[in-house]
Amino acid sequence: MSSAARDPRTPDSKGGTNRDPPSDDDVVTHAHGSFFGRRKGHRLRSHQADLIEHLLPRLTLDITGPSPSDLAGLFDRPVESIRLEIGFGGGEHLVAEARAFPNIGFIGCEPYVNGMAKILAQIEALDIGNIRLFAGDATELLAWAPPGSLARIDLIHPDPWPKRRHWKRRFVQDASIAAMARVLKPDGEFRFVSDIDGYAAWTLDLLQHSADFVWTAERADDWRRPWPGFTHTRYGAKAVREGRAATYLIFRRR
Ligand SMILES: C[S@@+](CC[C@H](N)C(=O)[O-])C[C@H]1O[C@@H](n2cnc3c(N)ncnc32)[C@H](O)[C@@H]1O
């Protein structure tokens, strides 16, 4: 596809994709949240179940009470700043970032229990100390987090919800943009990756209408190519196999 056709400033009317989101039968909706996907997949192996039972409680954020004034206290060692990845899936990107930046604290949010089991296995095998986890809806986590507490939020290959009547299920909405603006520090970043041109255009349009964010791209390669050090995920690899190029958008909190 030509770069002009892929220009995220040119929305396509269908928000089109050839990837299936969870079917309606699998969808769990929540009155107070924005999670519309599967929470469970294939049965966990016994070690994975053991990690969910014993390791996850040690790493999980408890958002039932008030948030601490400083999220750095969640980590055993001092951290310079804190980043969040929403919907980390199998955890490829989150694990790579946590290992590359040991002085940064990472929070990973993923309601899909099989994804959680996968990242727990990597945390255990690689002895990663700077990841904390939340096995639920990022909307609830964002509402709980203290204002100005995060340096960066990553949303990588979010569920595209291609049918027009499902667009309201997309994670990026005016309300989630406002929620991210609240918890990001000034100059903090929201980074978005999608191989679905319609969702990239949707995101760019909403963010450009937000007074809280500025799109940082200066040239086409800034959105056509991954930022330096970007680690591709399972969904990114699938997109490449199926011939879809991804769009990489970085927005700075004003
Ligand atoms: C298409 S998958 C992509 C996973 C991973 N980022 C990747 O690139 O391989 C989207 C993920 O977002 C998660 N997700 C969907 N809605 C979410 C929400 N409201 N909060 C947190 N995660 C969510 C899903 O469970 C799913 O694992």
For residue 35, give the ligand 1 atom closest to its CA: 19
CA dist list (Å): 111 to 65, 141, 173: 19, 11, 19
Residues 118/47, Cβ–Cβ less than 8 Å: no
The predicted structure's pLDDT at residue 12: 53
Cα torsion angle, 31, 56, 38, 13, sign:
positive
In this predicted structure, the answer to whether residue 30 has a pLDDT above a threshold of 70 is no
In this predicted structure, the answer to whether residue 31 has a pLDDT above a threshold of 50 is no
Ligand 1 midpoint to CA 184 (Å): 20
Average pLDDT, integer, range 17-25: 40
Ligand 1 midpoint to CA 146 (Å): 23
**Per-residue pLDDT band at 11 (split at 50, 70, 90):** low
110 lines ligand 1 (CB under 6 A): yes
Ligand 1 midpoint to CA 72 (Å): 25
Q: What is the pTM of this model?
A: 0.91
119 lines ligand 1 (CB under 6 A): no
Average pLDDT, integer, range 89-101: 98
Measure the CA–CA gap between 19 and 236, rounded to whole angstroms.
12
Residues 42/114, Cβ–Cβ less than 8 Å: yes
The predicted structure's pLDDT at residue 42: 87
234 lines ligand 1 (CB under 6 A): yes
**What is the SS3 assignment for 194?**
strand
The predicted structure's pLDDT at residue 253: 98
The predicted structure's pLDDT at residue 52: 97
In this predicted structure, the answer to whether residue 33 has a pLDDT above a threshold of 80 is no
**Per-residue pLDDT band at 36 (split at 50, 70, 90):** confident
Residues 251/189, Cβ–Cβ less than 8 Å: yes
Known catalytic residue: 159? yes
In this predicted structure, the answer to whether residue 61 has a pLDDT above a threshold of 90 is yes
The predicted structure's pLDDT at residue 19: 33
137 lines ligand 1 (CB under 6 A): yes
CA dist list (Å): 77 to 71, 104, 109, 151, 225: 12, 10, 21, 18, 34
In this predicted structure, the answer to whether residue 232 has a pLDDT above a threshold of 70 is yes
Residues 104/81, Cβ–Cβ less than 8 Å: yes
Measure the CA–CA gap between 141 and 64, rounded to whole angstroms.
10
188 lines ligand 1 (CB under 6 A): no
- Token duo for residue 143: 């509402």
The predicted structure's pLDDT at residue 14: 39
**What is the SS3 assignment for 129?**
coil
Average pLDDT, integer, range 240-252: 98
The predicted structure's pLDDT at residue 122: 98
Ligand 1 midpoint to CA 89 (Å): 6
Of 159, 174, 205, 212, catalytic: 159
Domain architecture of the chain: domains with CATH: 41-253 (3.40.50.150)
Residues 76/66, Cβ–Cβ less than 8 Å: no
From 39-53, 93-107, 180-194, the region with the lowest mean pLDDT: 39-53
The predicted structure's pLDDT at residue 26: 44
Q: Which residue has the higher pLDDT, 2 or 17?
A: 2
Residue nearest to atom 16 of ligand 1 (CA): 35
| Residues above pLDDT 90, as percent of the chain | 83
Cα torsion angle, 46, 48, 49, 55, sign:
positive
In this predicted structure, the answer to whether residue 3 has a pLDDT above a threshold of 60 is no
Measure the CA–CA gap between 92 and 118, rounded to whole angstroms.
9
Q: Which residues of 136-169 are buried (b: 16+ CB within 10 A; e: fewer)?
A: bbbbbbbebbeeebbbbbbbbbbbbbbeeebeeb
Residue nearest to atom 17 of ligand 1 (CA): 35
For residue 111, give the ligand 1 atom closest to its CA: 25
Ligand 1 midpoint to CA 74 (Å): 23
The predicted structure's pLDDT at residue 5: 56
Average pLDDT, integer, range 51-68: 97
The predicted structure's pLDDT at residue 6: 75
The predicted structure's pLDDT at residue 41: 84
Helix (H) or strand (E) holding 89: none
Residue nearest to atom 22 of ligand 1 (CA): 87
For residue 158, give the ligand 1 atom closest to its CA: 10
Q: Which residue has the tokens 């299936």?
A: 20
